[in-house]
């Protein structure tokens, strides 16, 4: 936030939290943290849960900006962003197209591959359209272990690491219960890292890389949010030059998707070749006490409240003119 901008210049701010997705619980934690931080800095901020109130109330009640602390579907997938575009209310994070592509792990991979960015090999299965023989053949195509996950869920919901052929059918069935598209992906063994990005276009910058060491290598929903057993190492301690290389590839991945404001890219580094592979991008990352963007920002000298203000200051619309008369 520039020196010329005061907290009062933001006007009435809605912190969108909760929502309808499987990540509602995490979103409420993120939103509560953001709301408290903005209020502490003098912003006229209010909680707003789209699962309980119609978005049209935002305009009727005079909200001038939205901080999107929603995660997953109906918050991170372009739907809320499209509604806010129609309402003419600037919002944090990526716009409609970048959000809708980025929530879909398969579409994200297709864009990255078209731009010659590295990502693990994969097979897409569509619920009700795949045959048992296709599932049985996946270990031959992708190797074991392999990863099975819904194409459009976050927070590691419905993600399975399949160790043997016997577990394949059950993992695919459980992932298909959460999404019509199931992503089956080559497993990359090595260092798991994540790298946040702040900004837009050429001005976007990568924050410090965080290395993640989860119990048994299982960075699942429980270990992400509800235990203190996962280690987050920042400075990351990677070999010389690797952190910068990760930051460069993450910035490219972020820019080619058209992301803006902020985001976080998850990466695996092959333990043998040391080559990075892009896993996915989060366009509305967590802001809880366990979340990684605030942790990385802190390592870069940006505290939680400053980070929230900086993100709020970046709120924008795809169509900057907004609604006539506003």
If we measure between CA atoms, which residue out of 316, 320, 276 comes closest to residue 99? 316
Based on the fold, state whether residues 110 and 231 are members of the same structural domain.
Answer: yes
Based on the fold, state whether residues 63 and 161 are members of the same structural domain.
Answer: no
Based on the fold, state whether residues 85 and 31 are members of the same structural domain.
Answer: yes
Distance CA 304, CA 310 (A): 10
- Return the bridge partners of 196, or none: 264
Stretch 244-263: mean pLDDT: 98
Determine, yes or no, domain membership for 1: no
Task: Quote the pLDDT of residue 324.
Answer: 42
Based on the fold, state whether residues 106 and 254 are members of the same structural domain.
Answer: yes
Determine, yes or no, domain membership for 201: yes
Based on the fold, state whether residues 113 and 220 are members of the same structural domain.
Answer: yes
Q: How many structural domains are present in the chain?
A: 3
| Digit-coded pLDDT (tens) for 6-27 | 676 899 999 999 999 888 999 9
Task: Quote the pLDDT of residue 155.
Answer: 55
Based on the fold, state whether residues 163 and 283 are members of the same structural domain.
Answer: no
φ/ψ of residue 193, rounded to 5: -135, 165
Where in the sequence numbering do the catalytic residues fall? 23, 155, 225, 264, 266, 280, 282, 286
Distance CA 266, CA 277 (A): 9
pLDDT band at 221 (very low <50, low <70, confident <90, very high): low
Task: Quote the pLDDT of residue 229.
Answer: 80
How remote is the C-alpha of 71 from its chain's centroid?
A: 8
Distance CA 75, CA 256 (A): 21
Point out the domain boundary residue: 148, 169, 186.
186
Based on the fold, state whether residues 167 and 263 are members of the same structural domain.
Answer: no
- 3-state SS record for 121-152: CEEEEECCCCCHHHHHHHHHHHCCCEEEEECC
pLDDT band at 315 (very low <50, low <70, confident <90, very high): very high
Point out the domain boundary residue: 162, 186, 210.
186
Determine, yes or no, domain membership for 313: no
DSSP states along 172-239: HHHHHTT-SEEEEEE---EEEEEEEEESSGGG-EE---EEEE-GGG---HHHHHS-S-SEEESS--PP
Based on the fold, state whether residues 129 and 269 are members of the same structural domain.
Answer: no
Based on the fold, state whether residues 253 and 158 are members of the same structural domain.
Answer: no
Based on the fold, state whether residues 154 and 293 are members of the same structural domain.
Answer: no
| Digit-coded pLDDT (tens) for 95-154 | 999 999 999 999 999 999 999 999 999 999 999 999 999 999 999 999 999 999 999 876
Distance CA 260, CA 167 (A): 39
Tell me the CATH number at 268: 3.30.470.20
Contact 84, 14 (CB under 8 A): no
Determine, yes or no, domain membership for 241: yes
Q: Kindly state the tokens that stand for 100.
A: 């809708």
Tell me the CATH number at 166: 3.30.1490.20
Domain with 215, as residue range(s), is: 101-119+188-308
Point out the domain boundary residue: 186, 206, 238.
186
Determine, yes or no, domain membership for 257: yes
Based on the fold, state whether residues 175 and 271 are members of the same structural domain.
Answer: no
Distance CA 68, CA 281 (A): 16
Based on the fold, state whether residues 78 and 170 are members of the same structural domain.
Answer: no
Q: Kindly state the tokens that stand for 30.
A: 């993120």
Determine, yes or no, domain membership for 321: no
For residue 32, pLDDT over 80 is answered with yes
For residue 320, pLDDT over 50 is answered with yes
Determine, yes or no, domain membership for 324: no
Q: What is the DSSP letter of 91?
A: B
Determine, yes or no, domain membership for 50: yes
């Amino acid at each position: 936030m520039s020196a010329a901008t005061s907290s009062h210049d933001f006007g009435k701010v809605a912190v969108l939290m909760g929502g309808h997705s499987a990540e509602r619980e995490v979103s409420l934690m993120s939103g509560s943290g953001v709301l408290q931080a903005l209020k502490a800095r003098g912003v006229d901020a209010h909680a707003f849960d789209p699962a309980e109130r119609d978005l049209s109330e935002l305009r009727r009640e005079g909200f001038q900006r939205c901080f999107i602390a929603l995660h997953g579907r109906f918050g991170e997938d372009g739907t809320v962003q499209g509604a806010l575009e129609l309402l003419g209310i600037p919002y944090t994070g990526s716009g409609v197209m970048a959000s809708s592509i980025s929530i879909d792990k398969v579409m994200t991979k297709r864009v990255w591959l078209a731009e010659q960015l590295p990502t693990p090999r994969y097979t897409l299965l569509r619920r009700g359209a795949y045959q048992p023989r296709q599932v049985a053949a996946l270990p031959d195509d992708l190797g074991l272990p392999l990863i099975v996950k819904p194409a459009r869920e976050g927070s590691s919901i419905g993600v399975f690491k399949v160790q043997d052929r016997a577990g394949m059918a059950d993992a695919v069935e459980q992932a298909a219960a959460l999404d019509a598209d199931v992503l089956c992906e080559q497993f990359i063994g090595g260092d798991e890292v994540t790298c946040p990005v702040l900004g837009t276009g050429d001005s976007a910058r990568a924050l410090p890389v965080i290395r993640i060491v989860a119990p048994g290598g299982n960075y699942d929903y429980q270990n992400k949010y509800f235990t203190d057993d996962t280690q987050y190492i920042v400075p990351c301690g990677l070999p010389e030059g690797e952190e910068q290389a990760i930051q460069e590839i993450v910035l490219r991945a972020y820019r080619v998707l058209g992301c803006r404001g902020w985001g976080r890219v998850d990466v695996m580094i092959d333990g043998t070749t040391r080559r990075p592979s892009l896993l996915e991008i989060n366009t509305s990352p967590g802001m809880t006490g366990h979340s990684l963007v605030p942790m990385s920002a802190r390592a870069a000298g940006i505290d939680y409240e400053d980070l929230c203000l900086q993100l709020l200051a970046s709120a924008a619309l795809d169509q900057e003119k907004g609604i006539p008369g506003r």
